[in-house]
Structure formats: C-alpha cells, structure tokens
Amino acid sequence: MRLNKYISETGVCSRREADKWIEAGRVTCNGQPAVLGTQVADGDEVRIDGELIGLKKKQIYIALNKPVGIICTTETHIEDNIIEHIGYPERIFPVGRLDRDSEGLILLTNNGDVVNDILRSENNHEKEYVVTVDRPITDLSLHMMAGGVKIMGEVTKPSKVTRINEQSFRIILTQGLNRQIRRMCSALGYKAQRLQRVRIMHIQLGNLKSGQWRHLTPAELSGLIG
C-alpha cells in the first residue's frame, strides 16, 4: 500500500496532506525518512514527527438531516455545533457545510479523501435542494437561475431548475459557493425562506427526520468510495 494511502486510512489526514508531510520530512518508515511513493507492508512501522501511527481506523460515513440552527463546525466550544448535536463517540467531521439557516442532508466522515473528492468543484458532483421564497417566483426568474446568476463578482455555473409550486422550486447545483442559492435568489429580488438539501450525488435524504442521522448503506458507500 502506498504510504499516503496508509496514513489517510489511519484517519490522521487526507492523502494530499500526507504527501505534504512526507515532502516536509516529517514521516519515517521503519526508521528511515520516507519519500513520495514509499510502499508500506504489514508490520512496517510508520511514524509522523516521531509518533507511531497505528492500525487503520474503521471508516465512518454518516448522513444527517441537519436542522435549522445547527452550525457545521468541528469547534465544540461553539454553541449548537454539529459534532455535539450528533454526539458520535469517534472523531468525525462534516463534508462541506450547510449554513445555519439551511437544513437537510449533510454527510460526516473520518475519511479526508472522500471529503476532498466530493468538495473538488471540477468533479461536478450534483447536490439537490428544495427552495421556498418569500413571494411567487416567475418562470423568467427560474430560467435566469438555471442559466447562471452573477453573485460575488462571478456568474454561477448553469443548474437544473424545476418549479414545485408558486413559491417553491427544485435546483440541482454542481458547485458550492458560499450561501450560493440564497445569493442567487437575492440577486433576482427574492428571499429564500426555506432551503433544504435533499440529495448529495446518489445519496438521498429520503424520510430521515430532522435532527436524526444514519450510517450510509453498502450501496451508497459503493457509489461514494468505489
């Protein structure tokens, strides 16, 4: 197994971060300075900054229906943080974020590689949302939203937008700018009153109740980590 993969599977950091540590000379394998591409076999001793890292941790993948008011941070001194809300006994962290006023599906894991893969914009992973605005939204506004809206000095990528009713619509994004949907609505003269994420890639929120979480199914995992 390549050294960076071995390090990431212990839950210490992602492969990309491991490569940086290796290049910086912080990693040894069997007492020798490691290099990029070093292979690790059973019984090999890997240390970071002289500290032995152990067996790879069991990888954890959780889907949460985040309620409004919960903050997507791992800093447990912040009130209403997502980590204390879940209360999972092992260290996990959210994949991306939903702002405090938004709700719905968010994934949590201890696998940094999955985080990097999902968040990398060039991978064009779909995220689907149901949005309710403060007044009836026109067909023209929905068409403009689908084509791209200028926010924060740039035009958003084209998205798939379908009407649900007079004030609600469904939108599928492949990028994740800060408060993107709220800013898109605002740019067109609307205020997003309710914003719920219902899908990330092939993983559906389904009937998971607000505030509840579950482990991902084997089928969901196979589509996530191959």
User: How many separate domains does the chain show?
Assistant: 3
- Structural domain of 163: 126-200
Tell whether the model's pLDDT for residue 121 goes beyond 70: no
Question: pLDDT value at position 52?
Answer: 85
Neighbour tally for 183: CB within 10 Å: 17
Binned at pLDDT 50, 70 and 90, residue 115 comes out as confident
The CATH number for 158's domain is 3.30.70.1560
* Sequence-separated (6 or more) residues with CB below 8 Å from residue 53: 7, 10, 12, 46, 47
- CATH code at position 100: 3.30.70.580
Mean pLDDT, to the nearest integer, of 165-186?
Answer: 95
Among 44, 99, 134, 139, the one annotated catalytic: 99
- For the segment 211-220, the average pLDDT, to the nearest whole number, is 95
pLDDT digits 0-9 by tens, 7-53? 888 877 888 889 999 999 999 999 899 999 889 887 788 999 988 88
Same domain, 136 and 104: no
Q: Are 159 and 172 in contact (CB under 8 A)?
A: yes
Assess contact for 24 and 30: CB atoms under 8 A: no
* Phi, psi (degrees; rounded to nearest 5) at 185: -60, -45
Query: What's the token pair of residue 55?
Result: 């067996």
Active site (annotated) includes residue 44: no
Distance, in Å, from the CA atom of 87 to the CA atom of 189, rounded to the nearest integer, reads 39
